Structure 1
C-alpha cells in the first residue's frame, strides 16, 4: 500500500545518474503518483529537453511517474528567502493545476526546507552518497569513472566519438578496427569500446549482388561495381542505417566509440556518386552529435587494392583533397594520418589521450 498520495522529486539531473534513479525509484515505490521536475539553466551544456527525455526513457513503463522540465535561471542561495520563493514558484508551475504534494523526496540537505514549503513530509535519502557515491559534478568531470552509473541514453550523449574517413583503399577500416582494439586493451570500461561499420560498403555489396542476380535471370552480362546506379534514395538509406548503427553502439559501448565513417563522410560520397549533395544530407551531417576527433587517412604511400567493390585508384587524390576541405569547413577537430598501421594508431591515440 502506498504511503503517500503524491511525491515530488526535483533536481538538475545534470546528467541523471544511478543516484537520481534511486531517488525516483524510492518515491515511485512509496507514492501513488510521482512528479519529477527537471530544472535546468540555459547556460548549462546539457539541454533541458535531453535531460527530460533521458529520465522519461527509464521510467516510461511506470504510468504513475510523470517527468516534466522547467527552465530555472535563478541563482542558488539557500540563505535568501526571495530566491527560495522563486525556485519553489517554478516547481509549483510544473505541477498540474490544483495539484498538491504530500511528500518531497530529496538527497540534499535542503530537502527539509523544501518539504516545509510544500507542507509535505521530508524524505531525505543518501545525503552522504554512501549508497550511490556519484554526483552530476563528478560525472561531468570524469564520465569514464562513473560509466556504470549511467543509463544508455546518457552514455550515448557523453561518449567521445572518433570517426575515421578517407578515400577508397587508404586504410580507413583497418585503422578504425585497430583503434577499437587498442582502446579495448586498456581494460576497465574501455573494454566495452564499440566499433561502427560503414553501411555504404554493405549497401554496395548488396546492390551489386541484386544487380547480378537480375542480370543472371535475364541471361545478360554480369555488371561490375562501376556500373551500379546511385541516387538520393540510396543515400537516404545510408544516412538512416549509419545513424542507427552509431546510436546503438554509442548506447552499448564504453566512453570512446570508433566509427568507420559517418554522415559527414556520407555527404562527400554522395557528391562523388550523384554529382552533388542534397540539402537533407548536409543537414543530417551538421545535426550529428559533435565528434571528439575526425581522422583522415592519407592515400599517399598506400598501395591501391581492388577488392571488387571499389571505383579505382585515380579518384583517391581528389577524394582526399575533398575530405580535407570538408573537415576544415566543419570547424571540428581533425588530424590526417600517414605511415604504417602502428604509426597511424599511435598518432590517433596521442590525440585521444
Structure 2
C-alpha cells in the first residue's frame, strides 16, 4: 500500500480503461492524484474532461495542467510533476511504456496496469473516432457528450411537441418536454389567455427566463445520460432567449450564455403552415409568422445545422426521419 499514488494522462476522453487504471491506483494507495494534461486546441476541452474525472472518481485529487513538455520528455515531466505536487509520489500507475522511465526520474515505483489492453480493450483515439462503437466503455457523463441531440422548436402552435413525441416513438428514444410550457401553465393557472393579451407581457422578468433556460438544460443533460445514443428535445434555451426578446424586448446575454453551453447535431424548425390552435395558454397567433421568421433568422446566424419542417404532420415526420437517418449514418 503506497501513501501517494499518481496517474497522469490526457484522458481524451475518459473511458473505462482509464477507470480501471485509476481504480487500481486507488486500491493500492492511501491517496491518489490524477494529473490531466491538455491543450487548448483539443476538441473536447480538458476542463470538461477534468469535470468528468472528478465525477467518476470523487475520492481522488484531479489537477489540470497545460501540455508544456514533449511526449518523450520523461525527465522534464518528472521535474514538472514534483514542482506541481510539491513532492514526489511513491508510485506511478500507468498502462504506457513511458511509465518506467518517468517513474525512474521521479525516484518512485512504476506499476504497469493492463499494458496489453486485455482487461478493457479501449483507447481514447478509438473513442474519438467511433464513440458509438465504444459505447460500453464510457461512463454516463461521457456518453452524454456524444449523444446525438435533435432539437425541435418553433413559434406557438406549430406542432413542435407533436413532432418531438413522434420522433421519440419512431426511434424509441428519450425526449425532453418543453419546461417553459410547464412553467407557463403553473404561472397562469386558472387564467384563460387570448391572442393579444397585453397584460401577459407585463408579468415576465429576465430571472424567469434564466430559470426556464437552466431547468430546460438540466433536464436535457440528465436525459442524455440514459444510455440512448439519440435524444429528442422539445425546444431549448436558444428558443427561450427568443421568447425573452418577445416579452422583454431584447435578447438576454444571460440566457444566451446558457444556450451556448449546449450542443446539438440538428435543429428542426416547425413551419407556420398549419392552423393555430388555442389551448388557453397561447397569446401569439397575431405574431406567429413574425416569430417564425425571427427563429429562422437567428438559426441561420449560428453554426448548428437546421432545417424547416413544412406541410402535413406525415410529411414533416418523413423529412425529419430522413435528416436524422442521414446524420446517424455518418456516425461510426
Q: Give the structure-2-normalised TM-score.
A: 0.89
Q: Determine the C-alpha separation between the residues in 2 that align with 1:349 and 1:126.
A: 42
Q: Determine the C-alpha separation between the residues in 2 that align with 1:129 and 1:174.
A: 46
Paired residue secondary structure (1:145): coil
Paired residue secondary structure (1:15): coil
Q: Determine the C-alpha separation between the residues in 1 that align with 2:64 and 2:301.
A: 35
Partner of 2:74: 84
Equivalent pair of 1:37/1:94 in contact (CA under 8 Å)? no
Partner of 1:294: 267
Q: Determine the C-alpha separation between the residues in 2 that align with 1:274 and 1:196.
A: 26
Q: Determine the C-alpha separation between the residues in 2 that align with 1:194 and 1:344.
A: 20
1:46 to 30, 44, 62: 44
Query: Which 5+ residue runs of structure 1 have no aligned equivalent?
Result: 78-82, 185-192, 213-221
RMSD: 2.0
Partner of 1:198: 178
Q: Determine the C-alpha separation between the residues in 1 that align with 2:82 and 2:149.
A: 39
Partner of 1:7: 5
Equivalent pair of 1:168/1:310 in contact (CA under 8 Å)? yes
Q: Superposed, which structure 2 residues align to 1:266-345 within 5 Å? A: 266-285=240-259, 287-300=260-273, 302-345=274-317
Partner of 1:224: 193
Could you tell me how far 1:253 is from its partner in structure 2? 4.1
Equivalent pair of 1:297/1:336 in contact (CA under 8 Å)? yes
Could you tell me how far 1:312 is from its partner in structure 2? 4.7
Q: Superposed, which structure 2 residues align to 1:1-353 within 5 Å? A: 3-60=1-58, 62=59, 65-77=60-72, 83-95=73-85, 97=86, 99-184=87-172, 193-209=173-189, 212=190, 223-224=192-193, 226=197, 227-228=199-200, 229-285=203-259, 287-300=260-273, 302-351=274-323, 352-353=327-328
What number of residue pairs does the alignment pair up? 320
After superposition, the Cα gap between the structure-2 partners of 1:90 and 1:46, relative to the gap in structure 1 and judged at 3 Å, is farther
Equivalent pair of 1:40/1:73 in contact (CA under 8 Å)? no
Could you tell me how far 1:150 is from its partner in structure 2? 1.8
Equivalent pair of 1:70/1:90 in contact (CA under 8 Å)? no
Please list the CA deviations of residues 268-289 of structure 1 after superposition, one character each: whole Å capped at 9, or x if unmatched.
112222333333223332x322
Query: Which 5+ residue runs of structure 2 have no aligned equivalent?
Result: none
Bigger shift: 50-59 or 110-119? 110-119
Please list the CA deviations of residues 5-56 of structure 1 after superposition, one character each: whole Å capped at 9, or x if unmatched.
2211111100111110111111101111211111112221122211111111
Q: Determine the C-alpha separation between the residues in 2 that align with 1:36 and 1:282.
A: 34
